[in-house]
A and B are shown apart, each in its own frame.
Chain A
Amino acid sequence: MINNIFSKHAVLAAILVAGLLCAFAAPSYSKDVDDCILCHRHEGLRVTGADGNVRSFYVDYEHYKGSIHGSANCRRCHTSVTEVPHKKRYKKVNCGVVCHLKSIALKRSFSHSKIYDTFMTSSHGATNEDAPGCLNCHPQNLDKRGAKKSRLEILVECSKCHIDDKTMSKYDIFPGIVQSYENSLHSKVFFLENSSGAICTDCHSTHNILTKDEKTSPMNERNLYKTCAGKEAAVAGCHMATNPDFVYSFNHERVKEAGVATAFKVESTINFVIIALFYFLSIVNIIRIIRE
C-alpha cells in the first residue's frame, strides 16, 4: 500500500519535473559557430554598390534567433561564403538547399527544393535582373515563428513590382495591370467584404505563375473555367455554378477590347454630361431666381 502511494507520488513528481523542464527549456536556436555576428552585429556595416545603392549587412541576431529560420546557422543558407574577409561578390542564397531539420513524416531532411524547382520553372524564375527571388515575396522568412502574410500584404507585395509599367513592358507584360485590378469588381469586393475578393495569387497561383499561353497555367483559356468556377479549381473556384461566359468577365487586358473600351467611353461621356449639367442648371436656376 505504502509502496503503491510512494510510486504514484514518484510518477507524479517525475511528470511535474519533466513538464517544468520542458517549459523552461531553451529552444534550440542556432549558435553563431562561425562568428558571423562578430562583424554583422554592427549597424553601420554597409556597402555602397556600383549602382550607388547602399546595402546594409547588419543582422539583428536576437530577431534572427526568434525567426522561423532561427535554428539554422548562417552558412546553412549562405553556402558560398567560405572565407573571411569575404570575396567581393557571392552567389544569391539558394532556398532549395537541404536543411538541417528532419521532417518527421518523411523521415528525411527538410527542404524547400520542390517549391524552389517549381518556382524556377515559372515566369518568376527567369534569370534576368528584374526577376524576383524567394526573398522578394518572403522577406518574412526572418519574421517571428508562425508569422503569416495577410491577403492585403500579398496584394501589396505583387503590386510593388507590377505597378512599374516600364519594367513590365520590357517583358511583354500588359502595362496598367495594377490599375486594371483596382478598377475591377475583384478589388471592390476585396476592400469591402473583409478581404474575400480575389487577389493576385487566388487566380495566378503562387509559385508556379505562368503566362496564359502555357497549357498548365490556371489562366490558360482551357483552364480558366476550372480556375474560376470548378470544384477542382487549381486555385480559387469562387464562382461556383457559373456559366462558362462569366469567367471571361474579368481580364486585365480587357481594357483593350471593344466592349470595355465602350464602357470607359460611356462612363467618361456621362461624367462630362454631369459636369456640364451641373453648371448649366446652376446658371439657368440663378437666372430664373432673378427673373421670377
Chain B
Amino acid sequence: MQKSEEGLFVYWSVNQRLTHIVLFSAVIISVITGIPMKYYRLDFGMRFFQLFDSYIAVRMIHNAAGFLILTALLYHIGSIIYVWMRTEQFRKVIYMKFTKNDIKDFANYILFLFFLKKKPKFGKYSFFEKLDYYISFILLALLAITGLIQAFPIIATALISISWLLISVKLHSSLSVLFIVYVLFSHMFNTHYHPGRLYLNTVWLFGTLSEDEMKKMHYLEYMRVLKRDVDLREEYKKKA
C-alpha cells in the first residue's frame, strides 16, 4: 500500500478494481436473470421472460454471466499464484490471511457492542472484510461449479453420479439466495452503508482512500504506511 503525491492512499490496484468490477457486474446480471428462473411460476417471472421474448434468451444471458464469474474467479486465483511466485514482498505480507489478531479483534468488537471496550483498530482489512471475502469466494465458487454441472448435464453425469446432478440443482438454487442475503446484509453494509463511513465507498472505482478515511477505517495500516515512509526517508538520507 502506498501514499500518492495528492495525499491519497492507494488501496486497490487497477487489476483488483477490474476483477471486482467484472465480478460484481456478472453477479448482478446473473441475479437479475436467475431470480425469475427460480420463481418462474410467479407472475413477475413470466413477465420478465416476455421482456426478452423467451426464457431461452434469459437462460443464455444467465449462463454467459456465470461463465464470466467463473473466469473472474479463475483469473483471481491465477493472479494470486503469479504474484506469489514473482514477488517476495507479497509472501511476507498477505493482507487477507486470517491471524490471531482477527480473533482478538472479533472478541473486542463484540465487547465494544456491549459497551465493555473501545472499538478495536483495524489494518488494511478488518475481520469483517476478510469474512466477506472468503464467504463470497466460497459461495461464488460453489455456484459456479453447480451452475457448470447444470449447463452441461450430460458431460457432468458421465463424471459424477446422478444424485450429484440433482443435489447441484438444489444447491445452486438455494445458495444463490444465501449469497444475495449475505452480500446485501453483510458485504454491502460493511463496505457502503456502514454508519462509520456515512458515504458510499469509491475504492472499487478509483482505488484510493483519503487520509481521514484511512485513519477512521484502517488506522493500523495508516500507521504502518507512515512508519514505512519515515523509515524509507531516513534510509534515503543516510545513503545520500
Q: Is the CB of B40 within 8 A of A191?
A: yes
Closest Cβ of chain B to A122, distance in Å, is: 29
With A289-B195, A291-B113 already in contact, the answer to whether A239 and B154 are too (CB < 8 A) is: yes
User: Cβ of A11 < 8 Å from any Cβ of B?
Assistant: no
Given A188-B40, A288-B195, 15 other A-B residues pairs in contact with their CB atoms under 8 A: A191-B40, A192-B40, A243-B157, A246-B157, A248-B162, A254-B166, A259-B163, A259-B167, A263-B166, A263-B170, A270-B175, A277-B178, A287-B113, A288-B189, A288-B194
Q: Is B71 an interface residue (CB 8 A)?
A: no
With A277-B181, A292-B194: A246-B162 Cβ-Cβ less than 8 Å: yes
Interface residues in B, total, Cβ within 8 A: 38
Is A262 within 8 A of B167, CB to CB? yes
Is chain A's interface secondary structure helix, strand, loop, or mixed overall? helix
Judging by beta carbons under 8 Å apart, are A185 and B178 in contact?
no
- On whether A263 and B169 interact (CB within 8 A), knowing A246-B154, A248-B162, A288-B113, the answer reads yes
In the complex, whether A266 has a CB less than 8 A from a CB of chain B is: yes
Interface residues of B in 173-216 (CB under 8 A from A): 173-175, 177-178, 181-182, 185-186, 189, 194-196
A13 at the interface (CB under 8 A from B): no
**Cβ A278 vs Cβ B40 within 8 A:** no
B240 at the interface (CB under 8 A from A): no
Q: Considering the chains assembled together, what is the distance between the CA atoms of A159 and B70 in angstroms?
A: 40
Stretch at the interface among B2-10, B15-23, B25-33, B49-57: B49-57
Residues of B within 8 A of A260 (CB): 163, 166
In the complex, which of the residues A194, A248, A282, A288 has the most CB atoms of chain B within 10 Å of its own CB atom? Answer: A288
Asked whether any CB of chain A lies closer than 8 Å to the CB of B41, the reply is yes
Is B119 at the interface (CB under 8 A from chain A)? Answer: yes
Neighbour of A245 across the interface among B157, B167, B194, CB < 8 A: B157
Q: Is the CB of B178 within 8 A of A266?
A: no
Give the residue of B164, B173, B195 whose beta carbon is less than 8 angstroms from that of A259: B164
Within 8 A of B (CB), among A207-251: 239, 241-243, 245-246, 248-249
Inter-chain contact A291/B185, CB cutoff 8 Å: no
Docked pose: A285 CA to B182 CA in angstroms: 12
Closest to B128 in A: A288
| B112 proximal to A (CB < 8 A) | yes
Q: A249-B162, A288-B195 in contact; A278/B185 too (CB < 8 A)?
A: yes
Our pick among A239, A241, A274, A287 for the contact of B178 (Cβ within 8 Å) is A274
Question: How many residues of chain A get a CB closer than 8 Å to chain B's CBs?
Answer: 38
Contacts A277-B185, A281-B186, A287-B113; is A245 near B169 (CB within 8 Å)? no
**A271 CA to B170 CA in the complex, in Å?**
11
Q: How far is the CB of A221 from chain B (nearest CB, A)?
A: 14
What residue of chain B has the Cβ atom nearest to residue A251's Cβ?
Answer: B162
Q: What residues of B have a CB within 8 angstroms of the CB of A249 in the complex? A: 153, 157, 162, 165-166
A193: Cβ under 8 A from any B Cβ: yes
Q: Is B99 an interface residue when CB atoms closer than 8 A count as contact?
A: no
Mask, A254-272, CB within 8 Å of B = 1, is: 1001111011101100110
Note all chain A residues with C-beta closer than 8 A to B81: none
A89, B164: Cα distance in complex, Å: 56
Q: Is the CB of A285 within 8 A of B167?
A: no
Min distance, Cβ A292 to any Cβ of chain B, angstroms: 5
- Closest B residue to A280 by CB, please name it: B185
Q: What are 10 sample pairs from A and B whose C-beta atoms fall under 8 A apart?
A: A194-B54, A245-B158, A246-B157, A249-B153, A259-B163, A266-B167, A267-B171, A270-B174, A277-B185, A292-B194
